[in-house]
Amino acid sequence: MIVLIFTGGTISMRHDPTVGGAVPALTGRDILALAPGIDRIADLEVDDFGAFPGPHMTVERVWALRRRIAAHLARPEVQGVVLAHGTDSLEESAYLMARSLDSEKPIVFTGAMRTSSDLGWDGPANLGAAVLTAASAEARGLGVLVVMGDRIFSALDVTKVHTHMPDAFESPGLGPLGVVDDGRVIVRRMAQSTLPILAPAAPAHPVDIVYTYEGADARLLDAARVHALGVVVAAMGRGNVPPLMAEGIGRWIADGKPVVITSRALRGRVGHTYGYEGGGRRLFEAGALFAGSRRPAQARIDLMLALGAGVDVRTVFDG
């Protein structure tokens, strides 16, 4: 049996002329009724978790979703779980599950880039490919997956790279794990992670992300320092920031709050290469943590999980 958890998102939306845009309108069973043939792939159970657009997902809501997934996976008759999710925050929810759930059973996220009112609604095809993947022997042990446009990605490295095209998801520099082709699941590479699973009672938050740009100062860092438990800096290039931002980072470190350095670039690792003021080496020597190749949103999730679990964050960020 495959459990289908519907959380909302574009896959559940229709155009509403009274508001002039797309809004959630379809339940899980409504979507299945418009996607004939999916029930022939596997026995299905529908779980309507909610009707939330991607930007409406919160830390508490995603953690409740994690508990729901874990409860389904614990049932011996359940072979895997498929989640229909808003694509705006899909990569974050999928990454959180990948970092906090340890299961051989497939957990597969999917969604849509077009609404059911659009001629090119991609929801049924994506849902069918996700169910086929979750029901396949090939998907066991691959971790949390994202299936969009017949391509199978690892939740550890996938990101949304386009605002509205159907092929909006990519794993920059890596490519998909595999494809769904003519009813077959074909796996071409494996996703490997040496990071430990982090399963706290709940994630610690707030943890903020502050973006670096030319001429940036410490105002946003100083404002976040009032309430946030930690901060992720989306730095330039290899992990470098303007001098005034470096001063703000120093104040975070002096407060004993973790600062994690990532890059605003889509590919590559941050490192201790540059020794000028604000350079990565100077930040590292001051006590900032480095996130390797993790993107800012991924580093934020890892920091929330690590703080929630009470582990030494230096064991999670050793880049």
Residues labelled as active-site residues: 10
129 contacts: CB under 8 Å, gap ≥ 6: 110, 147, 150, 180
167 contacts: CB under 8 Å, gap ≥ 6: 148, 149, 151
> Strands 80-84, 107-110: parallel, antiparallel or unpaired by DSSP?
parallel
Kindly state the tokens that stand for 192.
Answer: 């490997």
**Residue 206 preceded by cis peptide, ω within 30:** yes
Cα dist. 261→211, 233, 249 in Å?
A: 11, 5, 10
Quick count: other Cβ atoms within 10 Å of Cβ 52?
21
Helix locations, the chain, DSSP H: 28-33, 59-73, 90-100, 123-134, 219-224, 243-254, 280-286, 296-309
**SS3 assignment, position 254:** helix
113 contacts: CB under 8 Å, gap ≥ 6: 10, 87, 122, 148, 164, 165, 166, 168
CB 229 within 8 A of CB 207: yes
